[in-house]
Amino acid sequence: MNAYNVIIIGDKNAKSLPLITKSKYLNKLYTNFEYPNTAEIKFNTFKELATKCKALKIDLVIVENEKLILQGIVDVMKKNFINCIGLTAFWTNLILSKKFAFEMTSKYQINTPERFLYPKEFPLFVKADGFSKIAHSMDEVIKYKQEIFNYSPIIAKSIFLEKFIEGDKYILTSLYDGRTLVTLPNDDLSMETINEYNNKLFKMFKSENANFIGHINSSVIFSNNQLYNIGFNFDFPKLNADIIFVFNSMIYQKLDELDILIFKKF
């Protein structure tokens, strides 16, 4: 495997920085921000970035800037045949839209807490896109709904009530290369439980023709021997494995050839 020229799109607190800099497969590191011993690249448009990546022979673009991911930077890199790790704009809806996430998880039998049109029991969650609070009474439900409406009548259209589930909360990180999905081990959950969740998530991506190479995190609750998804995010994963080696395997759709034990998290 050859050494890679890599650019990180983010800021000096990017979680990929320490992982990339210690990789034995790193040739030259670029960033779009000031950072010691790296070359800084400025750009005004995603097309301009793509052009500079080609000119500088950058092998891999890693995007940690949430705003740019939502704006479709990964889509533009893909269109210009540049290897890019990150979610495409369509799949950011798993993070942005609770309605979209619920429709997808329900379609593929991924467990989620029950939703209510009207309060059945307390406590319960009052949720909307970007909002989540526990309500212990009808007065609190009304109060939180009003808060959401005052903040944004548009976001208020996404309000729903969700059953409160007691259990242990975890973050599961999944890597996807377009052909294989690997959900990383967790010391507190059995591999049987993780694999069952992984299979359902993989079916969703495969059936919906997901066209990204990257990672996604699932917020889950384990209760009564059941795993429930309560949301997604795209925080950068922490891995013991050489991150460039892993990403190279993902680019060439060879995740299934890697020993899952190398993914054991810190």
Q: List Cα–Cα distances, 177 to 95, 110, 119, in angstroms.
A: 19, 21, 41
d(CA 127, CA 145): 9
What pLDDT does residue 263 have? 62
What percent helix, strand, coil does the chain show, rounded to 5? 35, 25, 40
- Nearest of 85, 84, 105, 109 to residue 95 by alpha carbon: 105
Per-residue pLDDT of the chain (266 residues; tens, 9 = 90+): 789 999 999 999 999 999 999 999 999 999 999 999 899 999 999 999 999 999 999 999 999 998 899 899 999 999 999 999 999 999 999 999 999 999 999 999 999 999 988 898 999 999 999 899 999 999 999 999 999 999 999 999 999 999 999 999 999 999 999 999 999 999 899 999 999 999 999 999 999 999 999 999 999 999 999 999 999 998 898 788 899 999 999 999 999 998 765 665 43
Q: List Cα–Cα distances, 40 to 4, 18, 26, 49, 52, in angstroms.
A: 17, 17, 16, 12, 12
What pLDDT does residue 259 have? 77
Contact 137, 122 (CB under 8 A): yes
Q: Domains along the chain?
A: 4-86 (3.40.50.20), 92-110+167-263 (3.30.470.20), 115-163 (no CATH)
Number of helices (H), then strands (E), in the chain: 10, 13
| CB atoms closer than 10 angstroms to residue 44 | 7
What pLDDT does residue 103 have? 94
What pLDDT does residue 266 have? 33
